[in-house]
Each structure stands twice: as C-alpha cells, then as structure tokens.
Amino acid sequence: RVDRKINWPYSVVFVPLWTVDLAVLIVVVSALLKRAITGFSSSQANSDYASCDEAAASSSYATTEDDEHEGIVSDSSADAPINAAVDADTSTSASPSPFGSAPATDATPLLGGAGPNYSNSNNSSQRRHRRSRRRRHHTRLRNLRKFVETQMACVVKAAPIAYLLLLALFQVSIVLKLDGHVSWSVWCVAAPWLAIEAIHGLLLTLQLVAATLKANEGSATAPTARQLLVVALDTYWWFLIRVVLAVLVVLKLNHSISWHWALVFAPSYLPALRSVITLCLLRRQLRAMGDAEVAQNESAIVLASVVAFVIAASFVYSFVALLIWKLSLPSAVRLALVLIPVFVALSIFCCLCTCLSCCLAYGMHAPLDDERDVESNSPSSNDNNDTSMIFVPSSRRIQ
C-alpha cells in the first residue's frame, strides 16, 4: 500500500494486525478472569479459616482469663502473710523508740550529682530512645513500601488491558488519519502511544521507589546520591530513549522542526554507543586482572558478547539507515527493500526456534525397541560382554 501497488484503504490493510490484537485481548481477558475467580475462591476459603480461628481464639482467650483470675486469687492469698509482715515492720519502724530515734541514713552522696548507677541508667535510656526512634523509622519505611507495592500491583494488573486498548486506539487513529477521515494533528494521533509510555513510566517509578525503600529498610546507612542516580539512569534508560525518539518523530511529522531524519533518529544511536563503551571497559578490566585463568574465561564471555552485539547491531542499524533513506527520499527506494533486514531477522529467528524445538524433542525422545536391539546386537556390545567374563579354574570352583 505504501509503494502504491494496491489501492486498498488502510482499514483493510490493518485487518491482520487487528486480528492479532483481538486474539491477544481474548487471551489476556480470559487469564484475568481465571485469576479473579481463583482469587475469589481463595478469599472465601481464607475467610472461613479466619472465622474458625477467631472462634478458637475467643474460646482460648476466655479460658486464659479464667486461669489468670484463679492465679491472681491464689497469688494474693499466698502473699498475704508476707504483706502482713511488711506492714508490721513498717508500723514498728514508724513508732517512736524508747531509746530515742535512730539517725536516718541517706544514700545520697554528700557532694551531690549523679553516681555511676545514674549514668548507666541515662545511657540505657538514650539507647532505648535511639532504638525506638530507629524502630519507628523502619516501621514508617515498611508501611510506605507496602503502600507502594500495593499500588504497583494494582497498576500491573490493569496494565495489560490498558496497553491493548491504547494500542488498538493508536492503530485506529493512524488508519483514520491516513485514509483522510479526520484532520487531526500528529500529536492527537500519537496520544495513545504517549499514554502507553506514561503508564510504563509510572510502573518504573513505583518499582524504583519500592526498591529504594527496601534498600533503606534493610541497611543501616542510606544510599548516596550517586548510587541513586546510577540506579535511576539504569531504570529509565530505555524509557527515556523511546520517549525522546517518539517526541522527535512527532515533531518532525508535524513540521514543527526541520531537522534531517538522521538527526531525528539520534536517540537510537545511544544504545550502540553505550554497548561499545561497556565492552571497551570490560576489555580494559580484563587486561588489568592478574589471574590468567579467570581473565581467559572472562575474555571468552566478552568475545561472545561482542559477536552478539555485532549481529544484532547489523540488523537494527541497517533497518534504521534504510528507513532514514526512505523518509528522506520517498520515491528513491521502495518499502519492501527497507523491510529486508526485518524479514531476514524474523527468518533466522523462526529457523532457530524450529531447530531448537526439534533438538529438544529428539533429546527427550526415548530410544525405540529396534534401536535397543541393534545396540545390544552390535559387535561393540558383544566385545564388551566378552571382556567382562572371567575364567575360573576347576580347582578353584565351589562345588
């Protein structure tokens, strides 16, 4: 349709894609309904168990109250003579003595101030205060982390349906725009895609906050600003690249900027640059290692990473280069030529999946009876059986 070989409307061209979207939507909705039914049945079972536990706890609580009441009565009756003796001693000490009153003894130091017992009690109270403050801090962090995890779980449950609906809405808006049924701007057409990225950014933010709170809760020292920056950059790396690239493409299609398409696709070059820098740093670290065996093993891993990067980058950036050529000069190249790297990559992927499935199926397949008979009748097996036999002389045999 883009190469103008057919004159079908884009609503007909997008029918296969909408069929796939409908199949995925049915699968996701059925999975969510199954999960909801399972959760409802488990919640009912938990409520039944909770009611049984509450009844058992109430009965045990009543029994414990009776036992405690009996224990208090017995303790008070047993302590009655002791209390009487203490009262007698108190009254005797309070009555005047015929030989005059004895001088009162005071344990307070003459010079005033606190003794060693007072300092120890002060230190222990400070420690208790610090422990209680730390405990309250950890409790607040734990409650906040649980709240964030709860919100993240809710967003994760609703995200698949939202993704599918927004993706379908994005496809419909593209079809309406290309067929000329609406006169929307490119921003209105790309609004569903930007909403998808916003939901994904919210998920990443909740995940980052939950991980940070968990790290603060599990360690005594809080992470530094540099560590937080590194974690945030690693979390939002692909999200920022996608958002910036989408915004630049929308601005270019809306004729808000007059940049060349090679400059518009500049954010897509950053992952390759980052991979090259990472591989160079790994190579430099391997050269600085003293252990030759470990360095050899790590160099093999780095070499495999380099080969995988070269293969992936050759397909991705050849497609990007052809797409830039097509967008810059629409009549110079056909779209079928632009999609050749995509077709080749998908063909290799299908071949690998087929070969891998065949290898796994052959490896898990048990040998047939004919194969077992052939193996048992083979000369190698007979030779092994002959060599395993041992000749015993007649004089040494047990009769």
Give the pLDDT score at 343: 92
Give the pLDDT score at 344: 92
**Residue 46's pLDDT band (cuts 50, 70, 90):** low
Q: What is the mean pLDDT of residues 312-335?
A: 92
Tokens of 254: 């809306």
Position with higher pLDDT, 44 vs 331: 331
Angle between helices 270-288 and 292-328 (to 10 degrees): 160
**Residue 51's pLDDT band (cuts 50, 70, 90):** low
Position with higher pLDDT, 215 vs 174: 174
Give the pLDDT score at 252: 95
Distance spanning both ends of the chain, measured CA to CA? 95
- Of 36-40, 313-317, 372-376, give the lowest mean pLDDT range: 372-376
Helix (H, G, I), strand (E, B) or coil at 254: coil
184 CB-near residues (< 8 Å, 6+ apart): 173, 176, 177
Give the pLDDT score at 327: 93
CA distance 50 to 44: 10
- Of 43-47, 57-61, 138-142, 198-202, give the lowest mean pLDDT range: 57-61
CB 295 within 8 A of CB 289: yes
Q: CA neighbours within 13 Å on the CB side: how many for 51? A: 5
Give the pLDDT score at 261: 95
Question: Which of the 8 DSSP states describes residue 7?
Answer: -
Give the pLDDT score at 339: 92
**Distance (Å) of CA 66 to CA 19, 59, 78:** 70, 11, 18
CA distance 304 to 306: 5
CB 222 within 8 A of CB 212: no
Give the amino acid at 58: S
CA distance 284 to 288: 6
CA distance 308 to 302: 10
Give the amino acid at 82: I
Angle between helices 225-253 and 186-218 (to 10 degrees): 170
Share of the chain above pLDDT 70, in %: 69
Position with higher pLDDT, 120 vs 280: 280
**Placement of tokens 């000490």 in the chain:** 93
- Of 46-60, 144-158, 365-379, give the lowest mean pLDDT range: 365-379
Position with higher pLDDT, 77 vs 170: 170
Complete DSSP assignment for 58-108: HHHHHHHHHHHHHHHHHHHHHSHHHHHHHHHHHHHHHSPPTT-PPPPP--S
191 CB-near residues (< 8 Å, 6+ apart): 173
Domain ranges of the chain: 1-69, 156-258
11 CB-near residues (< 8 Å, 6+ apart): 175, 179
CB 270 within 8 A of CB 241: yes
Tokens of 227: 């560590």
Give the pLDDT score at 86: 43
Q: What is the mean pLDDT of residues 19-38?
A: 87
Position with higher pLDDT, 346 vs 125: 346
Reported as a single tens digit per residue, the pLDDT across 69-78 is 444 444 445 4
Give the pLDDT score at 274: 93
**Residue 260's pLDDT band (cuts 50, 70, 90):** very high
Q: At residue 100, does pLDDT exceed 50? A: no
Q: At residue 111, does pLDDT exceed 70? A: no
Q: At residue 271, does pLDDT exceed 90? A: yes
**Residue 190's pLDDT band (cuts 50, 70, 90):** very high
Q: At residue 197, does pLDDT exceed 90? A: yes
Give the pLDDT score at 129: 76
CA distance 168 to 17: 9
Give the pLDDT score at 201: 93
- Of 35-39, 58-62, 279-283, 356-360, give the lowest mean pLDDT range: 58-62
Reported as a single tens digit per residue, the pLDDT across 203-243 is 999 988 888 888 777 666 777 888 888 889 999 999 999 99
Tokens of 83: 């209390």
